[in-house]
Structure 1
Amino acid sequence: MLDVRRLRLLCDLDRLGTIAAVALARSYTPSAVSQQLAALEREAGVALLERSGRRVAFTAAGRVLATHAAGVLAALEQTEAALAAARTGPAGPLRIGAFPTAVRTLLPAALVALGRAYPALELMVTELDPADVPAALRERRLDVGLLNDYDAAPGEVHADLDSVPLLDEPVFLAVPAGTPCAGLRAAGDLDWILASAGTLCHEVTLRVCAAQGFTPRVRHRADDFATVLALVGAGQGVSLVPQLAVPAAPATVRLIPLALRRRTRIAYRRGAAAHPAISALIAALT
């Protein structure tokens, strides 16, 4: 019998490429990951990996098992969803990950509606950058998470995750009201307010500015758009903001529409769409 937890590690290795990366993602030691994969080889009765020093590569059998393992994990999600649906309705914990602006604007009404309709549902929200959501879903720290992508940074295709669209919105260049600026190309000489390195917003800003021929001159770093807009309104720099953040803009901010859009999707593990708690959240949000 193949151990499901070990199959997850094999899928992680297929996705991440190295045992060290799998260990980091799962908060294990590399030695522990290697031991679990060796145990999986014994269960399978065939070599799954070829080792050369610290590097590993899939054998033909390992590649076959990794491909089928993804389907096995999705089938388990479907089974759990079917069992949950056999109960009286959405109940138990539902762990939701969302970026700060969504927590402030999109989630509250949905949480209230779900709490009234399904009092046995235990709703738990964690603020999380969209870039961190896929890993949190795979590691089962989340059941549902909100993902973003932009025209300038299309979203990855995650074979082990599914999603449904939630929002498609324009993006603006936010500038202090008294600052003469006609658009992005003219913002190359201005100070910028950027998100933290490693976040999607940070990457998008760098790509958008690079397309205009400049690297933004960073003065402040902030991840919450309400904070960003407050800094812009105080004359501290310019920034990119999506329409969802616009209600937080003070009167001292001017918003310049850009030919750039942001899309938000509701993501979950493949096979989990029919879970009653997940489908109830999707219905409440959409």
Structure 2
Amino acid sequence: MYIDQVPNFSLRQLSYLITAARLGTISAAAAELHVSSSAISDSITALEHQMGSQLCIRKKAQGLVLTAAGKQVAAQARNLINEANELERDLKTTDDELAGPITIGCYPTLAPMILPVLLAEFGEQHPRVSLEIVETTQDKLAGKLESGEIDVAFVYETLIPGTPNHAQLFAQPAHVILAADDPFASRDTVRLEDLVDRDMILLDSPPSSQHTLSMFHGRGLRPTIRHRTTSYEVVRTLVGRGLGYGVLVQRLNNTSSYEGYSLVVKEIEPAVEPVGVEVIWPSQTAMAMRVQALIEFALARQWKTA
């Protein structure tokens, strides 16, 4: 819901009213809250002025009594204060326990490697931290970090949007995937020059597509693209059916396609430059302790990359 106006009163003013009504006198409320009687009296007067209603009747002999409007305000104020206290408890970090939400952005092909570890292992260590996931391509991350929509993201080092803080988790080179019965399947390595006239299944999702094509263009080659897809698994499935080869960076232990066709992985010769996988976070925003803990957890972990 869009909030178009901030209330003129504060939770402190409401708490003064509630306490004075519960104890029956302003002086008793002042003693319990460790403030002056004049501070409570002035606060209640200001609250009445801001709401445009008399909330209590103050009599020296009989103390303080709420009016009908005051009773309505006090009832709703208790709910507001309880919710505010609950919000503070949910977000408050203590020496023993982290708490609160973290929104994690992740490039889709990295998600099967990165997210299960964070959700299971980091989540188990910090049960009061709520992890929310946003899977998106790197071009769509632009602005989401600096705006606060995403607290931290896991991406390839190429084409990182903006100027966020970043640190590398690991790096690995691209590889070629082939169907098990492909004529090149028995080779130890594969040259891009030998693939250029064959059909390619291109992972057409930034920055993967740019990186793949740049490897060919860097050697003066133009690959023959038969199909384009934004899905990592579709690339593997089409390759498994023998419809072309694929070039990928992310490596999974599963050597079969979604349909069960066998795949083989071949290194590229000459060797291509490894691509780094990085954790990035906003450069202009104060970092919560829970986010810092997640980044430190990710950097300290030994990631299985093959």
Match of 1:276 among 289, 293, 296: 289
Pairwise CA distance, 1:125: 0.6
Counterpart for residue 136 of structure 2: 128
1:206 Cα offset (Å): 1.5
Unmatched segments (≥5 aa) in structure 1: 1-82
Measured after TM superposition, the shift of residue 267 of structure 1 is 0.3
Question: Would the aligned equivalents of 2:200 and 2:244 in 1 still touch at CA under 8 Å?
Answer: yes
Gap regions ≥5 residues in structure 2: 1-90, 185-189, 302-306
Residue 225, structure 1, aligned to residue 256, structure 2: no
TM-score (norm 1): 0.61
The letter for the 2-side match of 1:172 is: H
1: CA distance, partners of 2:244 / 2:216: 15
Structure possessing the higher relative contact order (Cα contacts under 8 Å, 6 or more residues apart): 1
Stretch moving more, 96-105 or 212-221: 212-221
- Post-superposition offset of 1:177: 2.7
Q: CA RMSD in A?
A: 2.6
8 A contact 2:141–2:161 mirrored in 1: no
| Count of residues in correspondence between the two structures | 197
> Match of 1:177?
180
Bigger shift: 112-121 or 184-193? 112-121
**What amino acid maps onto 1:165 in structure 2?**
Q
Query: Does the 8 A contact of 1:229 with 1:249 survive in 2?
Result: no
Aligned partner letter, 1:194: L
Give the distance between the partners of 2:282 and 2:180, measured in 1 at CA. Answer: 44
CA drift at 1:158: 4.2
Q: What residue number does 2:217 align with? A: 210
Residue identity (%) = 23
Query: Closer, same or farther in 2 for the Cα pair 1:92/1:156, shift >3 Å?
Result: closer
Matched with 1:73 is none
1:170 CA displacement: 2.3
Q: Aligned ranges for residues 36-115 of structure 1 at < 5 Å?
A: 89-115=97-123
After superposition, the C-alpha distances for 1:210-254 in whole angstroms (9 at most, x for unaligned) are 123332222222233233222211111111112x42323326322
> What TM-score comes out, normalization by structure 2 length?
0.57
Q: Is the partner of 1:208 in helix, strand or coil?
A: helix
Aligned-partner residue type, residue 169 of structure 2: L
For the Cα contact (< 8 Å) 1:96–1:126, is it kept in 2? yes
Structure with the largest fraction of helix: 1
Q: Kindly indicate whether the alpha-carbon contact (under 8 Å) linking 1:184 and 1:209 is maintained by their aligned counterparts in 2.
A: yes
CA pair 273-174 structure 1, distance change in 2 beyond 3 A: farther
Structure 1 residue 93: deviation in Å?
A: 1.5
Equivalent residue for 1:186? 194
- Residue 163 of structure 1 aligns with which residue? 166
